[in-house]
Amino acid sequence: MPPVDLIVTDATVLTHTEPAAPGYPDDPAARRATAVLLEHHDIGVLDGVIAWVRPTGTTPEAERAGARALDGRGRLAMPGLINCHTHSAMTMFRGSAEDVPVHSWFNDHIWPMEVNMTPRDVALGARLAIGEMLLAGVTTFADHYFSMDEIAKEVSAAGARAVLAPTYFSSEGPAGLDRSAAFAAEWHGAADGRITAMLGPHATYTVDDADLERTARIATELGVRVHIHAAEGMFQTDSSLESRGVTPMQVLHDTGVLEAGAIIAHGAGITPDDVRWLAPVADRIGVAACDKVYLKHAQQSTTPVRLLHDAGVPVGIGTDGPASGNTLSVLESLRLLALVEKQKEADATWLTSAHALDLATRQSALTAGLGDRVGALLPGRRADVVLVALDRPHLQPLHDVAAALVLSVQEADVRTVLVDGRVVVDEGRLTTIDVQEAIDGLTARVPQLRDRSHGRRIQDYAP
């Protein structure tokens, strides 16, 4: 083989995960999810792509000559984490709307404050978010927000990977969808392929069926998917059934959105009956689960992971925006989901740590529409790699690596992060962006951002 340009040496490598079979654990014959861990292995990277994963010491000198070496001893190499649903720039509102129910969060706090927001605020908010995510091992994020050009520029500069969907409402008339489509035409595949575009209709209750149909048509023409809030809780499904006799999933089906391919944000109101709409398109959709936010907003329903699992529909991990979730840590979201699932299903054997890792890697990549590019450390995949220090006191002794990653790890254990083989976090330090500038800029803007004296809001929340 040709020489590589970068090698991670002598790490414990989480190459990929093997999913649990449907029916598990009701069917005792079904196998458990497995995280495939290789001790004392090297990862060779050439031109941003994983060339090989081999036992340490087995690569000929000729194939190693001149390559940059990253010491993996005492470290776990895992696929870059994927945040399947967020509003990154809302770092600017982190902690500004606390201890309120969801209708008040929108109508009394966030939607009035978003009136004040400038494109520069979005740029700074996104830069801070990208820094926070990279430091926590999140190499890809699926974003849904305003001023998306600003966010795309920040992604490009930071060397991160992102799936970007500009948000629009039907209340804007055709302008919103046109803007989202123009963004996709301009940015899809940009930043050396690190930017993937999607269309971003806000939700099934703020974008009407005609606009959803047009969205699906344009998405198909452009070769992109759709990212949309739908069935965020069972209360929305109930409301949709009452007012129009169909579930939000059926709306997505009937308007062609599912056929086009979609990230379904939340889906906590997906019903067993909805599987009929979702299962046939399981190759092009995924549901982003953000359990921290459901708990914080006292929502009684959470994403039905087991139902979706048994239907073969991918479930990805999201954080939601930091104004509701307070962080952008996929590790935190994953841990919460694993714990919540066990209690919700009244089954401590459900959602094992290996299964949780499958959600955070393979299934999150599928959800984000990047199943063939990221989510596994296998030859041919992009070299998005996170090195986690395993020698920390809170992980030791190391009986079970998967459990350590899901239930014990801390974000600061993420030491070094690669995107497309480029070091974007080096021993806990960001190498590509200045987040302090973003923090200072946003801190100075806090009084104006919080001003609600204008009495306006960008929308009314009445799902």
CA distance 95 to 322: 8
Q: State the DSSP H helix or E strand holding residue 78, giving kind and residue range, or none if neither.
A: strand 75-79
> Which residue, 61 or 99, is less far from its own copies as judged by CB?
99
Cα separation, 268 vs 341, in Å, equals 12
**Residue 132: closest CA among 169, 180, 94:** 94
Does 92 participate in binding its own copies (rule CB under 8 A)? yes
Residue tagged 């997906």 (tokens): 270
Q: Is the peptide bond before 397 cis (omega within 30 degrees of 0)?
A: yes
Check residue 443 for interaction with its own copies (CB under 8 A).
Answer: yes
Q: Is 196 near its own copies (CB under 8 A)?
A: no
Task: In whole angstroms, give the CA distance from residue 208 to residue 394.
Answer: 50
Q: Is 156 in the site for its own copies (CB under 8 A)?
A: no
Residue 269 within binding range of its own copies, rule CB under 8 A: no
Compute the least distance from the CB of residue 261 to its own copies, in Å: 32
Q: Should residue 174 be labelled a site residue for its own copies when binding is judged by CB under 8 A?
A: no
Measured from the CB atom, the residue of 44 and 269 that comes closer to its own copies is: 269
CB–CB of 198/178 below 8 Å? Answer: no
Compare residues 107 and 327 and give the one whose CB is closer to its own copies.
327
Among residues 49, 241, 279, 403, which is the contact residue for its own copies, using CB under 8 A? 403
303 binds its own copies (CB under 8 A): no
Among 71, 186, 192, 400, binds its own copies (CB under 8 A): 400
| Helices 119-135 and 435-450, packing angle to 10 deg | 130
Is residue 353 at the binding interface for its own copies, with CB under 8 A as the rule? yes
* Separation between Cα atoms, residue 326 and residue 86, nearest integer Å: 11
Size of the residue set binding its own copies (CB under 8 A):
63
Check: CB of residue 337 under 8 Å from CB of residue 345. no
d(CA 36, CA 250): 37
Stretch in the footprint of its own copies (CB under 8 A) among 6-14, 228-236, 243-251, 291-299: 291-299
Q: Does 135 bind its own copies (CB under 8 A)?
A: yes
Across the chain, which distance is largest between two alpha carbons, in Å?
Answer: 69
Work out whether 30 is an interface residue with its own copies (CB under 8 A). no
Please list the alpha-helical segments (H only) found in 312-458. 322-325, 330-344, 353-358, 364-367, 401-403, 435-450
Q: Give the shortest CB-147-to-its own copies separation in angstroms.
A: 18
Q: Which one of 69, 182, 412, 462 is in contact with its own copies (CB under 8 A)? A: 412
Q: In angstroms, rounded to a whole number, what is the distance separating the alpha carbons of residues 180 and 197?
A: 9
Tokens matching residue 387: 């090195």
In the bound complex, what is the minimum distance in angstroms from residue 463's beta carbon to its own copies? 16
**Residue 90, number of CB atoms within 10 A of its CB:** 25
Q: Which two tokens stand for residue 267?
A: 């889906």
Can you name the residues that pair with 429 across neighbouring β-strands? 426
User: Does 87 contact its own copies by CB under 8 A?
Assistant: no
* DSSP assignment string, 176-187: HHHHHHHHHHHH
Does 283 help bind its own copies (rule: CB under 8 A)? no
Site for its own copies in 305-344 (CB under 8 A): 326-329, 336, 339-340, 342-343
Nearest distance, CB of residue 447 and its own copies, angstroms:
11
Could you say whether residue 21 binds its own copies (CB under 8 A)? no
Based on the shown chain and the rule CB under 8 A, indicate whether residue 61 belongs to the binding site for its own copies: no
Verify binding: residue 349, its own copies, rule CB under 8 A: yes
Residue 12 in contact with its own copies, rule: CB under 8 A: no
CB-nearer residue toward its own copies: 251 or 356: 356
Binding interface with its own copies (CB under 8 A): 91-96, 98-102, 128, 131-132, 135-136, 292, 294-300, 326-329, 336, 339-340, 342-343, 345-350, 352-353, 391, 393-400, 403-404, 407-408, 410-412, 435, 439, 442-443, 446, 450
